[in-house]
Amino acid sequence: MAENNLAAAILRAWMHRGWFACLAWPISLIFGALLRVRGLLYRFGILKQESLPVPVIVVGNIFVGGTGKTPFTLWLLAQLKQAGFKPGVISRGYGAERTEPEIVRPNSLAQQVGDEPILIAQQSACPVVVSRNRAAAGRALLAAFPDVNIIIADDGLQHLALARDVEITLFDSRGVGNGWLFPAGPLREPASRRRDLTVANLNPGELISADLPSDTVRMQLNGSRAYQLIDPKQVRELAQLHPTLLVTAAAGIGNPERFFAMLRQYGLTITALPLPDHFDYAINPFANITADMILITEKDAVKCRQLHDLSSDPRLWVVAAEAQIDPAAFDRILKKLTER
């Protein structure tokens, strides 16, 4: 796909300070100046922050694109519930059509509330509300679910209108790229931006980038098995798939190569099909593909289930990826909450 090839080319350019980055560098200085002015306006109260009556944990990234926020959010929700909290989630809801806050149901439509909020609602059984205005989403969440006593703001680092108690920033093996702000580099904010916890989403064997803090927490996604989209009771271990099986792997996520690399670690020979992040499947990308099995992410499965041609395709298998993180990371989060 031309759009995906262009995005991949830009991302490669952002990993180095080559000619493209240097040409865009003057524009990134303007972008950085605007960020500093905006931050000062909030710091001095010219632009107002709204505080919610319960603690707010923001999970996000400064690297453009996906770095594993949703798996981390699901892990954090499970940890909070185990510790006795009653958590809820607010999100922008990428591509969501409605402007007013909306409660996300497990059977909500992706074009109305976004794919990731549905995935979180399905897997966590926690209340989820989406809105472009995160504070409005928080108010709506607490009004509808008054027992919620802590809120996770999914992908809300740059939404400064909402006050927060803890900020968690995710990276992957790309680190901060060339270290420059958009459009000369991949950063939405400077690499020096404050945060309470830094998490690196890495595959086995990958090292934490030297440009990340020394106390960065390692996260690893374990996706060793897949279930059939049309019949989730059918489960197969990836490492036990027959070597002659023709396998295509498709991913409409921020960093598709991470998904493909994870699959190859189980000995799979795959034909990789990277799709744009939040791909809407308005066109069936598998219609002309020859494959015995097509492996997709859980994020892609949210939309495939809602489309007849895809939901009935027996070749589609969903890789269930679960975040594995040192439990000490949750202790650090609790400590920050106590300090605040």
Q: Which residues are annotated as a binding site?
A: 63-70
- d(CA 132, CA 58) in angstroms, rounded, equals 15
Length of the chain: 340
Element (H, E) at 91: strand 87-91
Q: Using alpha carbons, list the distances in angstroms from residue 61 to 159, 170, 195, 246, 288.
A: 12, 5, 10, 35, 36
Output the CA torsion sign for 303, 305, 307, 310: positive
DSSP string covering 32-52: HHHHHHHHHHHHTTSSPPB--
Strand partners, 187: 63, 181
Element (H, E) at 57: strand 56-60
DSSP string covering 284-328: -TTTT---SEEEEEHHHHHHHTTSHHHHT-TTEEEE--EEEE-TH
Structure tokens at 54: 């319960």
- Note whether 307 and 41 are within 8 A (CB): no
Q: Are strands 235-237 and 225-228 parallel, antiparallel or unpaired?
A: antiparallel
Q: Long-range pairs for 21-26 at CB < 8 Å and ≥24 separation?
A: 21/178, 21/180, 21/184, 21/185, 22/184, 23/184, 24/183, 24/184, 25/180, 25/184
Binding-site residues for ATP sit at: 63-70
